[in-house]
Structure 1
C-alpha cells in the first residue's frame, strides 16, 4: 500500500538512489530517517495510520518509522525474481570482498602516476588506456585474491 507521502517521496527517492547507485531503483519508498525534518516524519506516520504522541522526540518518531517499515523492493530484484533468479549483494562495508574495487584502484593508480595536469581530452584517453591495460589474467588474479579473503572470513 503506497500512501500519499510515499507517492510524493517516490520520485525524489528514485532520483537519489540513481545518483548513489544506478542499479538500485526503488519501487517502494524510502522511509524518513533521522536526517528528515520532524514534520516530515510525523506526516509519514500520520499518512500510514501509525499513532504517535505530539511530545515524541525526533529519535522516538524515527524508531516508530523503522518498526513499521519493510525493506525496500528494488526494480532489478523484481525483474530477476520474475525470471527465476535471485540477486546476491556484496557487503557494503567490505570492499576487500569486491574484485571490482581492486580493479578500480589499479586503474586509478595508473592514471595518477601519469596525470600531471593533463587536459580533459588527454585525461579521458589515459583513463581508457588504464582500463584496457588490465588483462584478463590480472582480473583473475584479483578475483583469486578476493576468494582467499572470503575463505579467511569463513574460517
Structure 2
C-alpha cells in the first residue's frame, strides 16, 4: 500500500529540513554525515534524497526482511542487532526510514529482541510466528494437491492490478472472493460489495460447500473477517451482563450476586479461553473436510497469490468491461500454469522449512558461544556527540 507522505506532516517536515541541509552544504559528504546525525537515517538512504522527489510512504515486503535476517544469521553465524540488520537492508528499505521506524516495522512483522547479555540485544523472529508457519507448511504438504482448495479474496485497483486482500485495501474498483483448486484452478469466483464476515460465510456455505468432494482440505487466511464465532468468549473488557449471558449459553451455573471478576474466574475454569472455535471451521469439519489456517505474513505464498500476479500481468488495460477482462484472462490459465504455480509454492515451503531448521541449529550454537563474543551495543535512541 502507498499513501501520500503529505498525510504525515512531521515526517514531511523532517525530510524538507534534511534536504535543506544537504543543499546548503558545499561538501555533500559532510552534509550527509551531519543530516544522518540529526535524523538517525542511514547515509546511503540520505544520498537518495538528493536524487529523489519523495512523496509517498511505501510498504516493505516482509519476505525481504525475513530473507535478509535469515541470510545474515547463516552467513555470519550470529544473530544481528537492530543496527546491523538495518544497515544490511539499506537499498531495500524506504530511504526515509530511520532506526526508530525500522524497530516499529520489525514489531509489526512479528520480530522481537532477545537479551543475550546486559549489553547485547539481537533480533529474532517471534517463536510463535516461526512455529505457526512450520506447522502450516508441514500440514499442507501432507495432502495431495488435488484435494486442496485455497479461499482467497482479491480486489482490483484503478491500475488494473490484482491484489490479495489481507485485511486492508486501497483504491479498490472491484472486489472478488474465489475458491482456487490446486489441481483445477479457479472453481468459483464471485463479485462482492465488501470484505466482511457475512459475505465470506455466505460464499463458503452457499457456493463452495455444496460443490466439494469428500475429504477436501480448505486453506483459509487467518484474518478477522474469517474468524466469526457462535458467541465470543468474554474478556475482562466485557460487561458483567455479557459474561453472564455467555455462562448461560454454555450451561455453566453461577450466582447472580457474583462480581465481574468472579464470573471471569468461572469462564477460565470451565473453558480454554485460548482455543479458537470458528463457525466456518465447524461447518466444514462437520461435513468431513479439513481446515488449515494460513498464518500471517505468508499470504503471498499460495497458488492463489501467484494467480493474482498472473492476472495483473495479463489484464487488458484498455478493456472497459473489467468483468470480461478477468474472465478472458482466467480462460488462458491451463494445467501447465497450475503445475508451475504448485511447483514454485511447494519448493518455497521446503526451502523455508530447511532454512528455519538451520536457524534453529545456529541459535543453539550462538547461545552456547555468546558469552565469549564481542559486545555489540544496540541503543534505542541515537547517541549524539555533544563535543
Does 2:324 align with 1:125?
yes
- The residue matched to 1:29 in structure 2 has which SS? coil
From 41, 44, 52, give the equivalent of 2:242.
41
- The residue matched to 1:151 in structure 2 has which SS? helix
Tell me if the contact between 2:306 and 2:341 (Cα under 8 Å) persists in the aligned partners: yes
Give distance in 2, aligned partners of 1:43 and 1:109: 54
Does 2:228 align with 1:20?
no
- The residue matched to 1:133 in structure 2 has which SS? coil
Q: What residue ranges of structure 1 are gaps of 5+ in the alignment?
A: 1-15, 81-85
Query: 4+ residue runs of structure 1 moved beyond 4 angstroms?
Result: 63-66
Tell me if the contact between 1:110 and 1:130 (Cα under 8 Å) persists in the aligned partners: yes
Q: TM-score, normalized by length of structure 2? A: 0.26
User: 2:299 is matched with which residue?
Assistant: 95
Q: CA deviation at 1:42?
A: 2.3
From 277, 282, 301, give the equivalent of 1:71.
277
**Greater per-residue strand proportion:** 2
Q: CA deviation at 1:17?
A: 4.2
The 1:33/1:124 distance shift into structure 2, 3 A limit, reads farther
**Greater per-residue helix proportion:** 1
Give distance in 2, aligned partners of 1:90 and 1:110: 30
Per-residue CA shift, 1:85-121, capped at 9, x if unaligned?
Answer: x51525142223311221133214433x5157x2xxx
Q: CA deviation at 1:133?
A: 2.1
User: 2:358 is matched with which residue?
Assistant: none
The 1:18/1:76 distance shift into structure 2, 3 A limit, reads farther
Give distance in 1, aligned partners of 2:340 and 2:241: 49
Tell me if the contact between 1:96 and 1:149 (Cα under 8 Å) persists in the aligned partners: no
User: 1:31 is matched with which residue?
Assistant: 232
User: 2:311 is matched with which residue?
Assistant: 107
Give distance in 2, aligned partners of 1:38 and 1:115: 54
Give distance in 2, aligned partners of 1:95 and 1:43: 38
Tell me if the contact between 2:234 and 2:243 (Cα under 8 Å) persists in the aligned partners: no
Give distance in 1, aligned partners of 2:307 and 2:240: 44
Give distance in 2, aligned partners of 1:95 and 1:151: 16
The 1:101/1:41 distance shift into structure 2, 3 A limit, reads farther
RMSD of equivalent CA atoms: 3.8
Tell me if the contact between 1:115 and 1:123 (Cα under 8 Å) persists in the aligned partners: no
User: 1:10 is matched with which residue?
Assistant: none
Give distance in 2, aligned partners of 1:115 and 1:33: 52
The 1:99/1:42 distance shift into structure 2, 3 A limit, reads same
Q: TM-score, normalized by length of structure 1? A: 0.57
